[in-house]
């Protein structure tokens, strides 16, 4: 068995149809991990869906109720940029339960890996940018409430700024938010994180990795988190439809190792969520996410040497 568990549920598929957000990537990743022999069925844990009580640890009760009962207003649905359906809601509730479980497993095993989640554009009272519920924030609040971790850091490496996460945790000394992203990309308004690294269009592997490592070292050493939630977006990839950075597959793999190595070396657990990935070929997005799984195993095995 692997030294950590994957968290996955078939209901992660948000039933979006022909949409740039290819939610089929979740099942494709699971199948790829099994087919290549990287993981066995015993390496997967299935989450329970989050409860409404879990959601209101972070979100306004009215927003949670409107989502769960299908009573969103017209402009609320427009802002989501994904079609509303019961299957979408079930997918989000299961993905949030998956991030909660991955965070708990991380506190036990040092790494927990949700094959889903990373909905960092959701705010307390509304959703946007394909994100209805901020599973990252809910997972942090649950491990804090359950006494498993006191100090949490979000390391967001999606190509898009983690605006919802930054807004939710603004002014909270128990959570440090760190986002490295393309400056001139969605969202237009970027509430400040505790550390924002704004990258110009076209930045490639060398500059990205140098600036990421500098930010990681300074923030981890200063904040000393118990858990890092790693938002491992695949969309800094050079062939992503919604990104404008130029990272290669190898650069993304090295990015993953930097996050795992620096966090684990300082005694922090790491909870992985996948976030975005919109490559022209879905198999490229899946390959990037699978490489993140390989980097997780390599990092945790390197600690034992």
Task: Please write the tens of the pLDDT for every residue from 265-302.
Answer: 999 999 999 999 999 999 999 999 999 999 999 999 99
The confidence score (pLDDT) of residue 109 equals 97
> In a 3-state reduction of DSSP, which class is residue 162?
coil
- Confidence grade of residue 105 (pLDDT, cut at 50, 70, 90): very high
Question: How far apart (Å, rounded) are the C-alpha atoms in residues 269 and 109?
Answer: 8
Question: How far apart (Å, rounded) are the C-alpha atoms in residues 223 and 212?
Answer: 16
Q: How many CA atoms lie within 13 A of 178 on its CB side?
A: 25
Mean residue pLDDT of the chain comes to 97
Task: Please write the tens of the pLDDT for every residue from 65-75.
Answer: 999 999 999 99
Question: How far apart (Å, rounded) are the C-alpha atoms in residues 225 and 19?
Answer: 37
The single residue listed with the structure tokens 């991990």 is 33
CATH number at residue 238: 3.40.800.20
The confidence score (pLDDT) of residue 305 equals 75
The confidence score (pLDDT) of residue 42 equals 97
Query: Average pLDDT, stretch 122-146?
Result: 98
Exposure string for 247-271, b = 16+ CB within 10 A, e = fewer: bebebbbbbbbbbbbbbbeeebbbb
- Asked if 244 and 185 count as a contact pair (C-beta separation under 8 A), the reply is yes
**Which residues span the domain enclosing 167?**
5-303
pLDDT over 90 (residue 32):
yes
Exposure string for 98-131, b = 16+ CB within 10 A, e = fewer: bbbbbbbbbbebbbbbbbbbbbbbbbeebbbbbb
The confidence score (pLDDT) of residue 183 equals 98
- Asked if 142 and 57 count as a contact pair (C-beta separation under 8 A), the reply is yes
Q: Residue 166: exposed, middle, or buried by beta-carbon count in 10 A (0-12, 13-18, 19+)?
A: buried
> In a 3-state reduction of DSSP, which class is residue 78?
helix
- Asked if 94 and 11 count as a contact pair (C-beta separation under 8 A), the reply is yes
Identify the CA nearest to 178 among candidates 276, 251, 298, 263: 263
Question: How far apart (Å, rounded) are the C-alpha atoms in residues 24 and 38?
Answer: 20
The confidence score (pLDDT) of residue 1 equals 86
List the alpha helices (DSSP H) in the chain: 25-35, 52-55, 61-69, 74-80, 86-109, 135-145, 163-168, 205-223, 249-265, 282-303
Overall number of domains in the chain? 1
- Asked if 216 and 261 count as a contact pair (C-beta separation under 8 A), the reply is no
């Amino acid at each position: 068995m692997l030294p950590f568990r994957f968290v996955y549920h078939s209901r992660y598929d948000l039933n979006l149809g022909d949409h740039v957000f290819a939610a089929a990537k979740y099942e494709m990743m699971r199948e790829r991990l099994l087919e290549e022999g990287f993981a066995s069925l015993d390496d997967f844990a299935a989450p329970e869906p989050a409860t409404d009580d879990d959601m209101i640890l972070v979100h306004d009760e009215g927003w949670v109720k409107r989502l769960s009962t299908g009573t969103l207003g017209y402009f609320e649905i427009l802002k989501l940029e994904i079609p509303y359906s019961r299957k979408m809601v079930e997918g989000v509730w299961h993905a949030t339960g998956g991030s909660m479980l991955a965070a708990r497993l991380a506190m036990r095993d040092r790494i927990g890996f949700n094959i889903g989640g990373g909905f960092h554009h959701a705010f307390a009272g509304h959703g946007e940018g394909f994100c209805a519920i901020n599973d990252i924030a809910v997972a942090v609040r649950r491990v804090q409430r359950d006494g498993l971790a006191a100090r949490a850091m979000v390391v967001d490496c999606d190509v898009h700024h983690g605006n919802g996460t930054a807004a939710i945790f603004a002014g909270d000394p128990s959570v440090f938010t760190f986002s490295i992203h393309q400056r001139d990309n969605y969202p237009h308004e970027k509430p400040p994180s505790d550390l924002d690294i704004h990258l110009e269009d076209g930045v490639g592997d060398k500059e990205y990795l140098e600036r990421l490592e500098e930010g990681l070292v300074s923030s981890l050493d200063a904040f000393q988190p118990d858990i890092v939630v790693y938002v491992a977006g695949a969309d800094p990839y050079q062939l992503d439809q919604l990104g404008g950075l130029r990272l290669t597959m190898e650069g993304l793999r090295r990015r993953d190792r930097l996050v795992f190595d620096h966090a684990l070396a300082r005694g922090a657990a790491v909870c992985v969520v996948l976030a975005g990935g919109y490559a022209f070929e879905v198999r490229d997005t899946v390959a990037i996410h699978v490489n993140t799984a390989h980097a997780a195993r390599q990092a945790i095995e390197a600690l034992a040497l």
